[in-house]
Amino acid sequence: MITVNGDPLDWHPGMTVQDVLDAKSYTFRMIGVWVNDKPVPKGEFGTFVIPDSAVVQAIHMVSGG
Amino acid sequence: MDKMKVLAEWSYTPTKIDKGYTRKTLYVNVGEPRMEIRDVTQDMIDKFTGGRGFDLKLLWDAVKDTTKWNDPENEIVLSGGPLCGITQYPGTGKCYAAFISPLSGQTYDSNSGGYWGPLTKFSGFDAIEIQGKSEKEIIIFINGDDGKIQILESNQPDINAYTITENLHEYFATSEADKRSISVVSAGKGAETSYFGCMNMSFYDPRRKVTRLKQAGRGGGGSIMRDKKIAAMVVKYSKMTGNENNVVDLDTLQKVGVKLHKEIHDLDDSQCKMRKIGTAHLNEIMDEYHLLPVNNYKFGQNSAEIAKIHSSEYEKLFTQGLPDGCWYGCSMACAKAVDGFTIQTGPCKGEKVTVDGPEYETVASLGSNVGVFDPLWTIEANFYADHYGVDTISLGTTLAFVCECFELGLINKTDTNDLELRFGNKKDIMELIHRMAVGTDEFAAIVAKGIRYIKKAFAEKYNSDAKTMEAIGMEGQGVETSEYVPKESIAQWGGYYLTLKGPQHDEAWLIFMDMVNKQLPTYEDKAEALHYFPNFRTWFSLVGLCKLPWNDVEPANNRIVNPPKEAAKVPEHVQNYVDIFNAVTGKAIKKEDLVTMSEKVYNFQRVFQVRMKQGNAFHNIPLRALGPVFADEWDARKDYYDGKLKEIGVEPAGLSTEAKIQKLQEYRLGMWEGLKTAVYKRRGWNKKGIPTVETLKRLGIDYPEVVAVVEKYSKPEDVIA
Amino acid sequence: MRWLKTYAEKCINCGKCMEVCSKTYFKEENPALSRVVITDPGAGRNISVCNQCGACMAVCPTEALYRDKNGVVQLDKSKCTSCLMCVGYCPTANMLYAATKQTEPFKCVACGLCAKVCPTQALVLVND
């Protein structure tokens, strides 16, 4: 189990940042991801493997319309 | 074209700009007529900065406590601000307008791109006040080349925006190349009937060889123009150089600007795609997150239809590859246009035109919110809204409300003069827009006055149920809500309905930060965001900037070098603003000063609202903004809403949907009150939302007449402990 | 099209091209004001100068940048608003600016003076 923006999400071995975004339907292009408070570069979303019990923040960047 | 008759004329010596200011304002009374050039004091610069700050200060001095929108003393005040007109940084051509609004009866400020702001400043004025009422149809002409102000008797047979703008660029230009030296402010026939008339501000597009229109759309400025019988305002200035603002440090300005040009060049395609699609890049994103208003904000999503209005559809319709900035130097280039569009209905039927937009707001307002998922219809509605001089947002939100009233049986075909106003009925909705511009149809004339007026008029004339209309009419302070579904973000209730002037998205857009990112868990967190963002964004309006280049592109390392909450503020871009402000003005502000500069004006404007409302400047929120009102809204996200009840300790099983809705509404109304108190407290206001004298003192805006308003309406029991 | 072809491997970094360029257009011997820029990063010499590709023309809001009859991209200063978008959008970073000299940007106009003074033919003005 991991948390994503405070909500629990089932974890599986090999789970990547992109898997998490897909699971949450986070399709926005301007997302910043921090795993256990460490930023993950956008280019590594597909390869960065998330450990079990991780605290994931998937921050949607837009602040204004 | 025949020469227009000069009704009044004055000569003046244009003052050159120094460090961003001319320190002169122009006052024109179109009734008497009279002209005056007034000095800007150092105190006015220190406290109000410029732009919207100057507008409000001048408006405060011009109106009485009892002034109504259509009284002669109401003014349209227009000002660019000290950074307005520089060309070296994206988004620096904005003009801010303020006036007493027909929709809300208090001040409204609205902004526009186009060349009006820069060219009037280059002509010698930090701000322009238009007061009085003319008897004849007039055109105001500010000739910055020759130092002349003229009031001309209009000879324009058609005052609708696209036509009059094109004609006046032609009339006042000496050559094709000279058309770029002109900007026209116009409204249109719809603005005469409506309370949400917009002001179209033009610029000439040398590649397309057409005039383009940007809008100070919101709040009803165009209605005031028409009430004063102003067909158009024109400025001409043809001697522009690359440093009209006579800045202190051109080197820094150039370096910071080039850095952002490169950033947009490198990153826009993978970020917001502003250069290709403008703000319409948001269409499917808002749908995905249940934020796209569908059928008067009943739903936030329409999975079956969204593909039809996907941003890729608009990308095909917008002409690609042109430098679509609404002022020189805007490499963000979001002023998209559809070229060669053939109009299908109304007075321009069959004509091939260039349509400015649509932007996201219009895609939603004159689209999904009225149940239409057809870009071609939206483009045509966008064209006519601009042409007739009505605000696309208020128009769409009002039409959405009227359609729901029709579907609920609150009004019928006899009332509508035979229009079948169902969601998605493109033909009849378009016909209603045309009728607003003709102005003879009684029903259309009511609709054109906006939701607050309609609620009363429908109840009186058609016996429509007032309580239902109160729940579903998406207005706050008399102004129609812009196009995001705020139901599920508590912070955004404040972002919309705890604002200075009504539910407009230019103060704070906190939905992702609050609802998705969960970065604002407590009332205090939300209140802090509802202090910081509205004040930070107010700063753009003081100096003459567009908000978009702040956070619709971000440096590649923004999310690497900044922790999440800071990243949302885009610190590098905030520093850019500090640097360019100092480079232009020679001051030495720091980034903390941006918010303080804004707070002065923000609180001044709040006191202004209290003054105009005689102490009753209330923040209202419709039930539809807080959550589902009807069973079908609940059922569209049944599991989600049942879950929301469980979160607050209510077991949904066994409850009727109506009972569930009531439980959630009661709970959320309580949260709204909690939010309001936390926000008022953070802003230094009392329980009635009136700034305290201490707040005025802290900000240095404790002018006797401002303190007097606060003291008159504040009661000891309203103090927040 | 007339343009300046470069042969970095022949360059001896004598600086004559930059000298003549800045002196001709800005009356000052200053490499920072030269439209042709020689850099020597150690691993290999680099000659950077406009190849007349015209990408800048597309982003210019006033059509101040245009191609003359020889195919050279020129700047009409009377139309230029000094916005420098062309600087940010130049694919080879050869649109230059210097606030102390003028508000407008500047670029190589393929005049060929640098090629004339180059002792090693590292710069050659060509028509193709």
Distance CA A17, CA A45 (A): 5
> Does B305 lie in the same domain as B411?
yes
> Does B469 lie in the same domain as B378?
yes
Instruction: Walk me through the domains of chain C, giving residue ranges and CATH numbers.
Output: 2-127 (3.30.70.20)
Residue B691 located in a structural domain: no
Residues from chain B contacting residue A58 (CB–CB below 8 Å): 517
Please check whether residue A65 touches B, CB under 8 A: yes
To test the contact with chain A by mutation, choose from B303, B362, B560 the residue with the greatest count of A C-beta atoms within 10 A, namely B560
Q: Please give the pLDDT value at position B468.
A: 98
Q: Please give the pLDDT value at position A61.
A: 85
- Residue B454 structure tokens: 């309609």
pLDDT digits (tens, 9 = 90+) for C79-123: 999 999 999 999 999 999 999 999 999 999 999 999 999 999 999
Q: Do A39 and B560 make contact, defined as CB atoms within 8 angstroms? A: yes
- Return the bridge partners of B211, or none: B204
Q: Is the pLDDT of residue A63 over 70?
A: no
CB B343 within 8 A of CB C101: no
Q: Do C99 and B241 make contact, defined as CB atoms within 8 angstroms? A: no
Q: Which of B506, B550, B559 lies closest to A39 in CB terms? A: B559
- Residue B291 structure tokens: 């934020």
Q: List Cα–Cα distances, B629 to B423, B635, B648, B655, in angstroms.
A: 18, 11, 18, 16
Q: Which chains touch C (3 or more CB pairs under 8 A)?
A: B
> Does B120 lie in the same domain as B64?
yes
To test the contact with chain A by mutation, choose from B517, B532, B538, B539 the residue with the greatest count of A C-beta atoms within 10 A, namely B517
- Return the bridge partners of A2, or none: A9
B138-143 and B230-236 beta bridge pairing: parallel
Q: Please give the pLDDT value at position C45.
A: 83
Please name the residues in contact with C13: beta carbons below 8 A apart, sequence gap of 6 or more: C38, C40, C45
> Does B353 lie in the same domain as B226?
no
Residues from chain B contacting residue A59 (CB–CB below 8 Å): 517, 519, 559, 564, 567-568
Q: Is the pLDDT of residue B334 over 70?
A: yes
Last residue of a domain, one of B416, B445, B480: B480
Instruction: Walk me through the domains of chain A, giving residue ranges and CATH numbers.
Output: 2-60 (3.10.20.30)
Q: At CA B79, angle to CA B510 and CA B156, rounded to 5?
A: 110
> Does B284 lie in the same domain as B178?
no
- Residue B89 structure tokens: 């940084």
With CA atoms as reference, the chain B residue closest to A61 would be B568
Distance CA A2, CA A10 (A): 6
The tally of domains found in chain B comes to 2
With CA atoms as reference, the chain B residue closest to C61 would be B323
Residue B241 located in a structural domain: no
- Residue B504 structure tokens: 């407009």
Residue B299 located in a structural domain: yes
Q: At what angle do helices B392-407 and B451-462 cross, to 10 degrees?
A: 30
Q: Which of A6, A27, A58 lies closest to B285 in CB terms? A: A27
> Does B227 lie in the same domain as B180?
yes
B127-131 and B24-29 beta bridge pairing: parallel
Q: What interface predicted TM-score (ipTM) does this complex get? A: 0.97
Q: Which of B288, B506, B519 lies closest to A27 in CB terms? A: B288
Q: Please give the pLDDT value at position A65.
A: 52
> Does B274 lie in the same domain as B224?
no
Tell me the CATH number at B344: 1.10.569.10
Last residue of a domain, one of B441, B465, B480: B480
Nearest to B539 by CA among B497, B568, B576: B576
Q: List Cα–Cα distances, B298 to B128, B448, B629, C97, in angstroms.
A: 42, 22, 8, 54
Which three-class secondary structure state does DSSP give residue B204? Answer: strand
Q: Which of B177, B261, B325 lies closest to C84 in CB terms? A: B261
Distance CA B490, CA B484 (A): 13
Q: How many CB atoms lie within 10 A of CB B387?
A: 28
Helices (H), B439-522: 442-447, 451-462, 466-472, 490-497, 511
Q: Is the pLDDT of residue A62 over 90?
A: no
- Tell me the backbone φ, ψ of residue B4, rounded to 5 degrees: -85, 145
Choice among A22-31, B239-248, B582-591, B680-689 with the minimum mean pLDDT: A22-31
CA distance B519 to chain A (A): 8
> Does B276 lie in the same domain as B204?
no
The rounded Cα B409 to chain-centroid distance in angstroms is: 32
Q: 């269409």: which residue's tokens?
A: B283
Domain that holds residue B389: 270-480
Last residue of a domain, one of B480, B509, B537: B480
Q: How many C-alpha atoms does B719 have within 13 Å on its Cβ side?
A: 7
> Does B198 lie in the same domain as B301?
no
CB B167 within 8 A of CB B156: yes
Q: What percent of chain B has pLDDT over 90?
A: 99
Q: Do B551 and A5 make contact, defined as CB atoms within 8 angstroms? A: no
Largest CA distance in chain B: 78
- Tell me the backbone φ, ψ of residue B211, rounded to 5 degrees: -85, 145
CB C105 within 8 A of CB C96: yes
With CA atoms as reference, the chain A residue closest to B570 would be A61
Residue A11, phi-psi category: left (phi > 0), alpha (psi -120 to 50), beta (remainder): beta
Choice among A45-54, B95-104, C6-15 with the minimum mean pLDDT: C6-15
- Residue B19 structure tokens: 């460090």
Average pLDDT value for chain B: 97
Three-state SS annotation for B665-700: HHHHHHHHHHHHHHHHHHHCECCCCCECHHHHHHHC
CA distance C116 to chain B (A): 32
CB B293 within 8 A of CB B485: yes
> Does B288 lie in the same domain as B232?
no
Q: Which of A29, A57, A63 lies closest to B271 in CB terms? A: A29
Q: What is the mean pLDDT of residues B694-701?
A: 98
With CA atoms as reference, the chain C residue closest to B92 would be C83
Q: List Cα–Cα distances, B352 to B50, B171, B342, B348, B380, in angstroms.
A: 40, 22, 4, 9, 11
Residue B596 located in a structural domain: no
pLDDT digits (tens, 9 = 90+) for B649-669: 999 999 999 999 999 999 999
Residue B24 located in a structural domain: yes
Please name the residues in contact with B226: beta carbons below 8 A apart, sequence gap of 6 or more: B187, B191, B192, B197, B389
Q: Please give the pLDDT value at position B1.
A: 67
With CA atoms as reference, the chain B residue closest to C81 would be B242
Residue B583 located in a structural domain: no
- Tell me the backbone φ, ψ of residue B483, rounded to 5 degrees: -100, 55
> Does B221 lie in the same domain as B96?
yes
Residue B450 located in a structural domain: yes
Please name the residues in contact with B308: beta carbons below 8 A apart, sequence gap of 6 or more: B373, B374, B375
pLDDT digits (tens, 9 = 90+) for B599-629: 999 999 999 999 999 999 999 999 999 999 9
- Per-residue b or e along B185-217, where b marks 16 or more CB atoms closer than 10 Å to that residue's CB: bbbbbbbbbbbbbbbbbbbbbbeeebbbbbbbb
Q: Which of C58, C62, C83 lies closest to B88 in CB terms? A: C83
Q: Do B206 and C80 make contact, defined as CB atoms within 8 angstroms? A: no
- Tell me the backbone φ, ψ of residue A8, rounded to 5 degrees: -70, 145
Q: List Cα–Cα distances, B632 to B280, B303, B638, in angstroms.
A: 28, 16, 9
Q: Which of A30, A58, A60 lies closest to B271 in CB terms? A: A30
Q: What is the mean pLDDT of residues B103-130?
A: 98
Please name the residues in contact with B414: beta carbons below 8 A apart, sequence gap of 6 or more: none
CB C91 within 8 A of CB C53: yes
Q: Please give the pLDDT value at position B461.
A: 98
> Does B144 lie in the same domain as B56?
yes
Distance CA B608, CA B306 (A): 42
Residue B626 located in a structural domain: no
Tell me the CATH number at B145: 3.60.9.10
pLDDT digits (tens, 9 = 90+) for B533-571: 999 999 999 999 999 999 999 999 999 999 998 998 999
CB B589 within 8 A of CB B578: yes
Q: Please give the pLDDT value at position B721.
A: 85
CA distance C83 to chain B (A): 5
Q: Please give the pLDDT value at position B539.
A: 98
Contacts 24+ apart (CB under 8 A), B687-690: B687/B717, B687/B718, B687/B719, B687/B720, B688/B615, B688/B617, B688/B713, B688/B714, B688/B715, B688/B718, B689/B606, B689/B610, B689/B617, B689/B618, B689/B619, B690/B606, B690/B607, B690/B610, B690/B615, B690/B617, B690/B714, B690/B718
pLDDT digits (tens, 9 = 90+) for B364-396: 999 999 999 999 999 999 999 999 999 999 999
Q: How many CB atoms lie within 10 A of CB B349?
A: 10
Q: Do C97 and B254 make contact, defined as CB atoms within 8 angstroms? A: yes
